[in-house]
Structure 1
């Protein structure tokens, strides 16, 4: 398949003199027009590399993102859940993962908390892997994007609540053929209290927005993920 794609790219770049204009136009149309888009959840591999854990942004309370958004009040309100991390960030630009020293993250914590490490009873991070595949009208796979949705859940303050921290989406693999451009970003839509005032349970809605562009078309799509403080992860 790789040789076929390279051959088609060569044809598109250097049209044979014997080919008619209509034939070339039809070839370009079929190559540069999106025919099918799919998103699937990958089977979890328990032996999966967890090296990404070391790149999670862990400087809460002192980083610019935290200092700009930390609450002004000194009291802690368990049922008022806020995001003191990032609200939107880019993860793929011009077909390549955005390289950061530390991975950008969001959280859903009680108002008044200065840092997630003030909470206790955190569970081990949960991660699920998904794959987006684009095929053109010729049935050729032109974009393949694999990514992980990651978050840590279950944090409690003085034995109460179920909160979320270090929620993020990280690119695992990006493959894009010649003539196609791919970009993606993460947006935190909202954080909510799924529980009660006495027993709060954090909820977070994350959007993964992406764009595929060719000389002929531009396609934008969004996949939404809802996380809970009890470790639930729903994709819709």
Structure 2
């Protein structure tokens, strides 16, 4: 009953599943558990989304979400890790899940994100674009990670051949190295800088608009009933409003 109500209210992304839960005993009586695997860049909005979902369905046992590089999450699932929902930071990593037959439904796009150069507050090295990275130390994501794949495409398109001091396994690690003063800059998503506005500034590199990452979400094979409901919640107007508050674009 709850699933039908949420699906009807959210449809193609319109509506608000909170309307389905409020005043409807069947929707709020949903039980079971929910485990979500999500790209590291989604941690703040998904923490908020899971908290809101828990208020809608208080009988659902929501486990700690697992946030990491999308490729790392896919590997864990391929090796037998249990989760109900997967959200990745690009479509190619999600393709590996569908190729392995681990999905219970077709993945749906729910957000977008764009690369920026993260620099310390005040931009002490005066970085204005990619060539300026040659005058400082910088880090990027590993190429198998969505932010690293986007960075590789950006560098190739702009003919930039600078050498990073390291390649991290998720975008959070890149942002934190800049925050901690380990390096002078890092290639991250705009949302990673927005969530650390006291410590970082964003420099939009030339060509960034051509390597926008699209985020898909999917209910996984064998998922608890709450899995499908959470996917619909993320796709709803209420879910997309939360994502927009954290700086994510519409799909």
TM norm. shorter chain > 0.5: no
Greater share of strand: 1
TM-score (norm 1): 0.25
Q: Which has the higher helix share?
A: 2
Computing the radius of gyration from Cα coordinates, the structure with the larger value is 1
